[in-house]
């Protein structure tokens, strides 16, 4: 199953693969070069399919749980001052996605969207300390009665050239549902209340839409 944001790119990649194979078979006479180019085209196509996959996740709804919004590796767990929306101290948990991870963004809690804003910006590597403030990004705040407000931020990386955000202000959303997509390598930051119990450690690999990364 593939994400709808990838349909156009998959179609273009399919055309490139087909045209490339025809050209290689008809104009490249050296067998080793023929096989090398054909294999390269196939690998390119498989990587595109891999990137836009959208596996079904079994989200167990729980208003006390904060689930991972994306697949990837936990690269930051620290207390910070969040200055865009809360303007106070929060626990930041950051998840880095490599190009081979599933890049679907999912809502970490159920609730109401209080804030959703897109910021144009740079394309620093996603693990750069300034990427959270200077890169292209979206900021979304979701609130429920148990946890209160949490903020998640989709951040573009050096390769990511488009962030897709489905969150709209005042919309009610369901934990684990499709919240957007980031194309080609990126990061998501979560900003949680200080009394949150964090259930992951640095360098843990997490599974979006299913794994409980924090509780209240």
Instruction: Name the residues annotated as catalytic.
Output: 186
- Residue 91's closest CA among 199, 212, 207? 199
What is the rounded distance in angstroms from the CA atom of residue 184 to the CA atom of residue 162? 8
Using CA of residue 131, residue 64, residue 207, residue 79, what is the dihedral sign?
A: positive
What secondary structure does DSSP assign to 157-201, as a single string?
-SS---EEE---TT-EE-TTSEEEEE-SSEEEEEEE-TTPEE---
Strands (E), the chain: 65-67, 72-82, 88-97, 104-106, 111-119, 137-144, 148-156, 163-165, 172-173, 178-182, 186-192, 197-198, 205-206, 212-215
The encoded tokens of residue 207 equal 């599974």
- Residue 144's closest CA among 173, 115, 166? 173
> For 70, which DSSP code?
S
């Amino acid at each position: 199953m593939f994400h709808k944001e990838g349909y156009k790119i998959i179609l273009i990649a399919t055309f490139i693969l087909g045209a490339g194979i025809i050209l290689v078979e008809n104009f490249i006479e050296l067998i080793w070069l023929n096989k090398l180019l054909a294999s390269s085209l196939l690998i390119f196509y498989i990587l595109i399919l891999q990137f836009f996959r959208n596996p079904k996740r079994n989200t167990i709804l729980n208003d006390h749980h904060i689930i991972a919004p994306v697949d990837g590796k936990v690269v930051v767990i620290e207390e910070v001052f969040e200055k865009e929306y809360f303007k106070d101290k929060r626990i930041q948990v950051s998840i880095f996605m490599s190009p081979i991870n599933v890049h679907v963004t999912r809502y970490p809690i159920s609730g109401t969207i209080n804030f959703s804003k897109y910021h144009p910006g740079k394309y620093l590597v996603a693990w750069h300390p300034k990427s959270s403030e200077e890169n292209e990004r979206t900021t979304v705040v979701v609130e429920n009665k148990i946890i209160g407000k949490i903020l998640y931020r989709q951040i573009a990386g050096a390769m990511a050239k488009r962030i897709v955000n489905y969150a709209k202000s005042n919309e009610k959303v369901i934990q684990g549902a499709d919240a957007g997509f980031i194309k080609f390598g990126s990061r998501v930051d979560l900003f949680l209340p200080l009394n949150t119990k964090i259930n992951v450690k640095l360098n843990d690999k997490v599974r979006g839409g299913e794994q409980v990364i924090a509780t209240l």
